[in-house]
């Protein structure tokens, strides 16, 4: 019965607060993850891996979002410049891309660690939950 109640609470939180979670600084909070972990029978270690993955994803998202403003400034400077140098612009782009690649790789490593530590049944249940959440958006 308690597990059923937790599942209902999780579903309600996920469906009614998706926008609030997406817009919040912290994203999925500890309580929501605890309920999600309980629903999917995650061990403490698996829960820690999930938290690390979420943190890594947030780090990547913040980097990309922050870069958006920098890109606008960069493009404005290019438009205003009397001379533009493709090589210099490409070097700047490659530098930014390298920073993003490091964060993507870190996130993928966290994802791989979690994936390897989940049973096939847990992965199936999580996939089903995520698909259900996606359909409800």
Give the chain's mean pLDDT.
77
Q: How far apart are CA 94 and CA 101, in angstroms?
A: 10
Q: What is the mean pLDDT of residues 34-40?
A: 84
Question: Would you say residue 126 has pLDDT above 50?
Answer: yes
48-57, 66-75, 78-87, 107-116: least confidently modelled range: 66-75
Which sequence spans correspond to the domains of the chain?
Answer: 1-42+121-137, 43-117
- Specify the DSSP class assigned to residue 126: H
Q: What is the mean pLDDT of residues 53-77?
A: 82
Q: Is the pTM of this model over 0.75?
A: no
> What pLDDT is attached to residue 4?
44
């Amino acid at each position: 019965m308690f597990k059923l109640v937790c599942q209902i609470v999780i579903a309600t939180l996920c469906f009614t607060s998706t926008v609030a979670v997406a817009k919040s600084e912290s994203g999925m909070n500890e309580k929501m993850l605890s309920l999600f972990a309980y629903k999917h029978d995650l061990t403490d270690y698996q829960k820690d891996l999930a938290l690390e993955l979420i943190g890594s994803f947030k780090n990547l998202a913040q980097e990309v979002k922050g870069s958006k403003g920098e890109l606008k400034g960069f493009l404005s400077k290019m438009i205003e410049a009397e001379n533009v140098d493709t090589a210099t612009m490409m070097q700047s782009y490659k530098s930014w891309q390298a920073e993003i690649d490091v964060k993507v790789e870190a996130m993928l490593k966290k994802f791989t660690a979690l994936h390897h530590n989940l049973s096939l049944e847990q992965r199936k249940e999580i996939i089903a939950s995520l698909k259900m959440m996606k359909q409800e958006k």
